[in-house]
Structure 1
Amino acid sequence: MSAPAADHVARALKALADPLRLRALSLIASSPTREACVCDISELTDVSQPTVSHHLKVLKDVGLVTAERRGTWVYYRISPEYSGAVRSLLESFAPATVPLGAVPTEGIADLDHMLDRLAADLGPRFPEISTKRVRDVVRDSATALARTAGLTTHLVVLTERFARQRLEDLARIDGRSAVPHVLFVCVANAGRSQLAAALLEHYAGESVVVRSAGSAPAATVHPPVQASLDELGADAFPKPLTDDAVRAADVVITMGCGDVCPTYPGIRYEDWAVGDPALASPEGVAAIRADIDTRVRTLLASLHSPGES
């Protein structure tokens, strides 16, 4: 690599080293029209339009995006020469941002129409969230789940469940409730985090809102764990980690997924070093469940004890 080329790449990477800019790129990449305006991005990120404009200008100055003014709005697209690099980046680090058209959805007739109907059904349940935002959440949820192999047959049903959880999280962010909200995160959301969430729901009932997610979700729950989930009456499926799920939580429990969770003030973070049941023997799975069970009971006691943190 020549010195000028290295300098150009370094400036582009520096421009990308900001969460809001990466979210803006992912929104543009996942848009059905492959473009977005400042209003679209500011609405989904809860950031003021001048702030979004500043960050988009940084991306434009290094050539990552192009801009086109139409009336009072400026629309941004990923520069053609960088489209491959941006797609590779998003597929490697945030696969849920890949456009819906880029993943297999065979066997689902008129998917766009079904997702629009789903958004129309969910909208009235969340009057505080704009209709456009509900639609974007539904389509992004479908994209995220379709990107996971094996989730085409029940994609619409699972999209409804995932989108509803995300909209509940968004509503909670704007108005906190007295009910504690716990998020469990592991890599695949197919073992530890699912088991912990099912156990907490089993013990807490409706006194705690429970979520689980994965930094790189698998297609299905691990068979050894599925048996425990069935026993607990948990109807679970792997879901990708979203920024809103973290922001809505009071407590975030990570389980072997490193520093993938964004950190926000006011949220309690814990890391549980527990075994991975994916390749464990039946005895090993039982021991892992017992370990998680003990930790979950301790967590629940702290949630219901004033002054605990």
Structure 2
Amino acid sequence: MTTTSPRPAVLDDGCTPAPHVLAMGTDAADRLAAVLKALADPLRLRVVSLITASPTGEACVCDIATLADVSQPTVSHHLKVLKDVGVLTSERRATWVYYRLAPQVRGAVATLLDSFAPAAVEPARDAGTGLRDTDAVLDRVAARLTAEFPDASAPTVQLLVRESYASLARTATVGAHLVVNAERFARQRLTDRARPAGDTRPHVLFVCVANAGRSQLAAALLRHHAGDRVVVRSAGSAPAAAVHTGVMPALAALGADDSAFPKPLTDDAVRAADVVVTMGCGDTCPVLPGTRYEDWAVGDPALASPEGVAAIRDELDRRVRALVADLLPAD
């Protein structure tokens, strides 16, 4: 007797439904839906893309916190959601927590970001630097800095250059000077790492939220008053895209150099500093033993009038002069 496979039922409108066996299982669908629901948030997608784009495959919570203007508890909530569904793993190292993609989802997330995202998002973004081969340009930057810092290995310099470029690119709105600034930033970081044992000059780091007003002004004032007798750095816990427009005339009057662009706070700068002066960055500033910390309650010039900026500059000048007198008492 000849047997035949059962034929799918045909609906009245002529549609033949697909067999249920072709559909995803209920349990698998539930698990996948939970992951997709966790990812279906703009900030969480940005967190995942940041980690995926990192040359080291990981991101510090201090970098993640700069992605949006939200509170630290909010950032922690989003990271917990991604961890709970198995997308992220975390590891604490000294003062910071680092996040990575879980190995089992790494390929799937890469596909989501590399294939689906470009198809879903209208390609309306600016071309950034306008460079066709950024990798080649960054390789040349790394080669120059490797020759300049022979004690640092070539892979270390290359990684640091790419990290510096990526961290600035996340907030930059104009890409014309991005590679140049990335080289300056990488050179500064290498200099901080290679601080000679015989360099007895005080190293001072000014930190605010955006590194676009208070910390830039304080750094420029300290350079103005102390010259090269003090090594000066500035950074932001959530750096802005550019220095505040209202602050630029004051910086120009002080002869601010090419380092006056917003930069993220790095462990290199903190470790090299003898004095860390914070201005409103709160708990996002790492605290290391043996380093002197001061917190200056100074107004934010971001939205201040020209008169307000001048008052803030004067207050910073008073504090900087006192700091110079304390650090260089023999002068």
TM-score, length of structure 2 as denominator length = 0.64
Q: Distance in 2 between matches of 1:176 and 1:270?
A: 25
Counting only pairs closer than 5 Å after superposition, residues 203-282 of structure 1 correspond to structure 2 as 203-235=225-257, 236-282=260-306
Offset, 1:238: 0.6
Secondary structure in 2 aligned to 1:239?
Answer: coil
Could you tell me how far 1:265 is from its partner in structure 2?
Answer: 1.2
Mapped partners of 2:226, 2:249: distance in 1: 21
Counterpart pick for 2:181 among 135, 151, 158: 158
Tell me by how many angstroms 1:249 deviates: 0.4
Between the aligned residues of both structures, percent identity stands at 62
Cα deviation code 1:43-73 (max 9, x no counterpart): xxxxxxxxxxxxxxxx9xx8846xxxxxxxx
1:42 counterpart residue number: none
1:93 matched to which residue of 2? none
SS at match of 2:288: coil
Residue 69 of structure 1 corresponds to none
1:77 CA displacement:
6.0
SS, match of residue 302 in structure 1: helix
Q: Which residue is 1:146 aligned to?
A: 169
Partner of 1:120: 143
Cα distance, 1:149 vs structure 2: 3.0
In structure 2, the CA distance between the partners of 1:262 and 1:302, relative to structure 1 (3 Å rule), is: same
Match of 2:329 in 1: 305
Give ranges in structure 2 of 5+ residues lacking alignment: 1-30, 32-47, 59-82, 90-99, 110-124
* Cα distance in 2 between the residues matched to 1:201 and 1:292: 13
Q: Could you say which structure has the higher helix fraction?
A: 1
Letter matched to residue 171 of structure 2: T
Show the counterpart of 2:43: none
Deviation at 1:160, TM superposition (A): 1.0
Asked if the contact 1:30/1:140 (under 8 Å) is kept, the reply is no
Query: Residues of 2 paired with 1:83 and 1:144: CA distance?
Result: 23
- Return the index of the structure with the highest Cα Rg: 2
User: 1:137 deviation in Å?
Assistant: 0.7
TM-score by length of 1: 0.68
- Residue 169 of structure 1 is matched in structure 2 by 192
SS at match of 2:284: coil
**Shift of the alpha carbon at 1:151?**
3.7
1:156 Cα deviation (Å)? 1.1
Residues 246-283 of structure 1: per-residue CA shift (max 9 Å, x gap): 01100000001112121111110000000111111111
1:1-309 equivalences in 2 (<5 Å): 29-32=52-55, 34=57, 64=88, 78-81=102-105, 105=128, 107-172=130-195, 175=197, 177-235=199-257, 236-305=260-329
Whether contact under 8 Å (2:129, 2:178) holds in the other structure is no
Is the 8 Å Cα contact of residues 172 and 178 (structure 2) preserved in structure 1?
no
Give RMSD over aligned pairs: 3.2
CA distance in 2, matches of 1:290, 1:155: 31
Compare 134-143 and 279-288 and name the one that shifted more. 279-288
**Shift of the alpha carbon at 1:304?**
1.2
SS in 1 for 2:293: strand
Paired with 2:154 and 2:135, the residues of 1 have a C-alpha distance of 16
1:131 positional shift: 1.1
CA contact (8 A) 1:250 1:267 kept: yes
Structure-1 separation of matches of 2:162 and 2:249: 31
Residues 176 and 103 (structure 1 numbering): CA distance in 2 closer, same or farther, change over 3 Å? farther
Per-residue displacement from partner, 1:177-201 (whole Å, max 9, x unpaired)?
2011000000000000000000000
5+ residue gaps, structure 1, are 6-24, 36-58, 66-75, 86-101
When the two structures are aligned, how many residues end up with a matched partner?
233
Question: Which whole-Å CA distance do the structure 2 matches of 1:33 and 1:168 have between them?
Answer: 21
Distance in 2 between the 1:176 and 1:279 partners? 43
